Amino acid sequence: MDSSRKGQTSSEYVILLAVSIIFFLIIIVIAYDQFANIGQVKSRDISVNSLKTIASAAKEVYLQGSGARKTVVVTFPPEVEDNSITIQNNSLHLKHAGTDISFPVDFPIYGTLPAEAGTYEIILISEGSQVKIGTADFSVSPSSLTFSFCQSNSSQSSSQNLTVTNLQNYSTNISLAVGWTYTNTTINISNSSLALGAYASQTIAATATLGANMTGTFSGSITANSSNTTTTIPVTISTLDCFCTGQANVTNLTCTNVSYVRIKTYSNASYSQERLAFDLPPNATITTGNWTANTTITIDIKDPSNVSVSGYPANVVTNSTGGYATTWPAIGNYGNYTIIVNTTFITANTTIQVTPC
């Protein structure tokens, strides 16, 4: 009796243990499926967000107009099927683990997207009525160049570096060209043909040269091309509110503030008591400085109708320090007047208001 009870008890324990193991196995399988589903959902979200990022960037450059461009970095997870990332009927498509995902836009798009899963740099270029989308073969850093100079009576040069990086796992050839329409102000690059290995980088120098006595803002570009990608780097040369004399590109180049015109009004004949308004008879003293010594400059005074007042414009000669002073009778002349001083290459002006006492 005791032996049969012991045997029965042992059998019950074995059955209970087996049921418990089966239960835990079921729990593990369910948990595994749940974790797998979470991973699939996360992977699918990455695919959706990648298409959304491309579509949003395409809309941005489309609205900016022809020539606008933008580069975005997107990731397509391993569940994305090869050769399924396509552009069809103004929609972005891919197949993720057997499921089709698409993201439409409301304007024409075309181009080529990656053929397999991975992380890519996608370049989008507006062509006005449509947007071109493609995988960038390479990148250029920085994305734009700006050169700033003081005005000078000698030519000046400055250089900045551009780094070109191959983004692909294969070699690529990249050609560079300067788009520039000015003659006395130039842009040159140290190398116009690059052969880059997989993921390799190379740095080239871009040199800007500002001609003597040149002022203003000059704009152009450097264009880099591979067989699949074109990137344009805007380039700007501008002059600042300063003026330099001496030999360019040396440490003793002297720069001062921009040439200026200053006008003062006085209430007495000795011009010692400054006034903001004219007493009769009113006189305005016009002074200018920082010009080249003993050279001819032109002074003009234009009335509120933009017509030169009597006796102006007038050619005058600066003194030994590059300055000049004169007086102008402003009897009954009220309103805003513009004082203009210039040479062949440089112009300075200021506006004054003449009011009755």
The yes-or-no answer to whether 141-253 and 260-354 have a common fold is yes
Q: 37 or 22: which carries more pLDDT confidence? A: 22
Return d(Cα 187, Cα 206) in angstroms, integer: 7
- Helix (H/G/I), strand (E/B), else coil: 284: strand
- Report the pLDDT value the prediction gives residue 161, as an integer from 0 to 100: 94
- Report the pLDDT value the prediction gives residue 255, as an integer from 0 to 100: 57
pLDDT (tens digit per residue) in 172-219: 999 999 999 998 899 999 999 999 998 899 999 999 999 888 888 999
Tokens 């440490």 correspond to what residue? 251
- Report the pLDDT value the prediction gives residue 142, as an integer from 0 to 100: 86
Mean pLDDT across the chain, nearest whole number?
79
Identify the band that residue 305 occupies on the pLDDT scale cut at 50, 70 and 90.
Answer: confident
**Domain ranges in the chain?**
2-135, 141-253, 260-354
Contact 187, 128 (CB under 8 A): no
pLDDT (tens digit per residue) in 88-129: 989 999 998 888 998 899 999 988 888 888 888 888 888 888
- Report the pLDDT value the prediction gives residue 278, as an integer from 0 to 100: 44
Length reported for the chain: 357
Spatial CA neighbour of 222 closest among 162, 167, 165, 173 = 162
Determine the residue type at 327: T
* Segments in the chain forming alpha helices (H): 2-64
Spatial CA neighbour of 198 closest among 229, 163, 168, 175 = 168
Spatial CA neighbour of 228 closest among 138, 100, 350 = 138
Neighbours of 204 (CB within 10 A): 17
- Report the pLDDT value the prediction gives residue 6, as an integer from 0 to 100: 52
pLDDT (tens digit per residue) in 144-183: 899 988 877 788 899 999 999 888 888 999 999 999 999 8
pLDDT (tens digit per residue) in 279-304: 445 667 778 777 788 888 888 888 88
Return d(Cα 85, Cα 114) in angstroms, integer: 7
Determine the residue type at 159: S
Highest mean pLDDT out of 28-32, 249-253, 256-260, 300-304: 300-304
Whether 4 shows a pLDDT value over 70: the answer reads no
CATH code reported for the domain at 260-354: 2.60.40.1930
Would you give the distance in Å from CA 176 to the centre of its chain? 19
| Reported CATH class of domain 141-253 | mainly beta
Return d(Cα 106, Cα 127) in angstroms, integer: 15
Spatial CA neighbour of 340 closest among 304, 310, 312 = 312
